[in-house]
Amino acid sequence: MQTNFTPEQLKNPDMAASEQVLRTCVHCGFCTATCPTYTLLGDELDSPRGRIYLIKDMLENDKPANKEVVTHVDRCLSCLSCMSTCPSGVNYMHLVDHARKHIEETYDRPLIDKGLRALLATVLPSPRLFKVSLLFAGMAKPFAGLFPARLKAMLQLAPTRLPVASPFDKPGVTPAEGQKKYRVAVLPGCAQKVLQPSINEATLRLLTRHGAEVVYPENTGCCGSLVHHMGKSDRAHAQAKVMIDAWHRDTKEGGGKGLDAIVINASGCGTTIKDYGFMFRNDPDYAEKAELISSLAKDVTEFLFDVGLMPSVVETGQRIAYHSACSMQHGQKITTQPKDLLKAAGFKVQDVPQGHLCCGSAGTYNILQPEISAKLLENKVANIEKTRPEFIATGNIGCITQIGQGTDIPIVHTVEVLDWTSGGPKPEGI
């Protein structure tokens, strides 16, 4: 794609990076066939190619974002299915992230929209605030039908009861079972440890059982993923710096004992953490540290596949559907490892028809775009149910929450299943 940015514009590192992305696009349109919003809405401007044209015009002409651009960029799930399809290697993720930052800086949203986004950006990354908000949401949930669409969507997503906080949710080092083979750090997370602390507990047991000494770092917070995809770049970078510093202290480069990996059990977070090197490429204080952290980051299934899964100690054989989260298959390009691990544990793993299409969760998308999200959920559940599984496994808490409200089939995190088959407790619902 031909571009006409001025030399002055290209002095801006973000603009220069986006210009290179735009130049890579050849207008082929392959992306339209796999874009969930385009296949659902049929509007060219709700396809990656259409959004690229809108973003190019906005950035190239140095325009503030207008309502049309905001409407169509907001409808983008950032599922990154287009990046898996694109034959030219267009990094749509970096381009749409830049567009969202530009929108945040130049567009004055309606007051209600602005307030809701500010609320989500404040509450979700804070486990304490999130837990309090869920308690209130639980009380209001029976009256969800009386609320506007977005607030109704928030209430419907709230669990009917909150699990007890995990006793393992505190900084420290957990020794490996038997011979120590690896030393890894983990991402404590924010929303996940409130909604389903059993996932972190299963991760800890599974890692130590496979010979890993596990470091739960001190002074941690949100990885920055949620606000990063809302265009709140400064806040995202501030949150990411906290995590980079926390992990870096345990690397040899940071004066610690060293880490073989940083293990992530939330695929949306993993996609962002693996992109820290790009996010901080122009920060002289963090560029090198961020690149190191990105290089160490691994999804928990990626790590287990590399070290080898121990034999199953329980009888399996159940027919299960594996839902590959968009951030896993498109963001991190992890497609076979989780399924191979589940098969090795003895399960009959079914591929979900149209598995490349998003379930509609996408961070805060199911709250900010409830109508589109609901239709995507309906399609996803219909395709899952075609496989007639006994339960569903996936690697992202957002997908678990989203799909769980659309079907009675139990849905669990992949790590909980693998923990069970190697000696841990049976996941609830299986």
Cβ contacts of 33 within 8 Å, gap of 6 or more: 39, 85
Shared domain for 82 and 138, answered yes or no, is no
**Residue where one domain finishes, among candidates 66, 85, 106:** 106
Q: Is residue 164 part of a domain?
A: no
Find out whether 123 and 129 touch, Cβ atoms under 8 Å.
yes
Q: Is residue 4 part of a domain?
A: no
Q: What is the DSSP string of 266-331?
A: -HHHHHHHTTHHHHTTT-TTTHHHHHHHHHHEEEHHHHHHHH-PPPP-S----EEEEE--HIIIII
Query: Can you tell me whether residue 412 is helix, strand or coil?
Result: strand
Give the pairing of strands 391-394 and 348-351: unpaired
**Residue where one domain finishes, among candidates 89, 106, 123:** 106
Shared domain for 282 and 401, answered yes or no, is no
Given this model, what pLDDT does residue 187 score? 95
pLDDT digits (tens, 9 = 90+) for 139-176: 777 777 777 778 787 777 777 788 888 888 889 999 99
> Hey, which of 26-30, 136-140, 419-423 has the most confident mean pLDDT?
419-423
What 8-state DSSP symbol labels residue 336? S
pLDDT digits (tens, 9 = 90+) for 254-280: 999 999 999 999 999 999 999 999 999
Given this model, what pLDDT does residue 141 score? 74
CATH number at residue 97: 1.10.1060.10
Shared domain for 288 and 408, answered yes or no, is no
Given this model, what pLDDT does residue 272 score? 98
Residue 211 predicted with pLDDT over 80? yes
Average pLDDT over residues 86-98: 97
Average pLDDT over residues 61-76: 97
Q: Is residue 191 part of a domain?
A: yes
CATH number at residue 322: 3.40.50.1860
CA-wise closest residue to 414 among 429, 384, 394: 394
pLDDT digits (tens, 9 = 90+) for 73-91: 999 999 999 999 999 999 9
Residue 308 predicted with pLDDT over 90? yes
Q: Is residue 2 part of a domain?
A: no
CA-wise closest residue to 98 among 49, 67, 158, 54: 54
Shared domain for 300 and 315, answered yes or no, is no
Q: What's the number of domains the chain is made of?
A: 4
Shared domain for 274 and 338, answered yes or no, is no
CA-wise closest residue to 170 among 188, 150, 196, 143: 188
Residue 101 predicted with pLDDT over 90? yes
Shared domain for 153 and 259, answered yes or no, is no
Given this model, what pLDDT does residue 233 score? 96
Average pLDDT over residues 402-413: 96
Q: What is the dihedral of CA 87, 88, 89, 95, to 10 degrees?
A: -120
Shared domain for 272 and 379, answered yes or no, is no
Residue 429 predicted with pLDDT over 80? no
Shared domain for 77 and 130, answered yes or no, is no
Q: Which domain holds residue 47?
A: 9-106
pTM of the model: 0.94
Find out whether 165 and 409 touch, Cβ atoms under 8 Å.
no
Amino acid (1-letter code) at residue 430: I
Confidence of residue 42 (pLDDT cuts 50, 70, 90): very high
Q: Is residue 118 part of a domain?
A: yes
Q: Cα separation of 378 and 190, whole Å?
A: 27
Given this model, what pLDDT does residue 423 score? 95
Shared domain for 222 and 333, answered yes or no, is no
| Average pLDDT for the chain | 94
Q: Is 145 left (phi over 0), alpha (psi -120 to 50) or beta?
A: alpha
CB count within 10 Å of CB 172 equals 10
Shared domain for 407 and 314, answered yes or no, is yes
pLDDT digits (tens, 9 = 90+) for 171-210: 999 999 999 999 999 999 899 999 999 999 999 999 999 9
Shared domain for 190 and 256, answered yes or no, is yes
Shared domain for 191 and 274, answered yes or no, is yes
Confidence of residue 350 (pLDDT cuts 50, 70, 90): very high
Q: What is the DSSP string of 339-407?
A: HHHHHHTT-EEEEPTTTTS--S-TTTHHHHSHHHHHHHHHHHHHHHHHT--SEEEES-HHHHHHHHTT-
Q: Is residue 429 part of a domain?
A: no
Q: Cα separation of 329 and 128, whole Å?
A: 31
Q: Is residue 428 part of a domain?
A: no
Residue 132, H or E segment: helix 127-140
- Return the percentage of the chain with pLDDT > 70, whole number: 100
CA-wise closest residue to 268 among 359, 158, 180: 359
What 8-state DSSP symbol labels residue 165? P
Given this model, what pLDDT does residue 415 score? 98
Q: What helix, strand, coil percent values describe the chain, rounded to 5?
A: 55, 10, 40
Cβ contacts of 84 within 8 Å, gap of 6 or more: 34, 329, 330, 333, 356
**Residue where one domain finishes, among candidates 87, 106, 125:** 106
CATH number at residue 228: 3.40.50
Q: Cα separation of 221 and 332, whole Å?
A: 22
CB count within 10 Å of CB 43 equals 12
Q: Is residue 276 part of a domain?
A: yes
Give the relative orientation of helices 13-24 and 92-106 as an angle to the nearest 10 degrees. 130
The token pair that represents 95 in the structure block: 């381009």
Given this model, what pLDDT does residue 138 score? 75
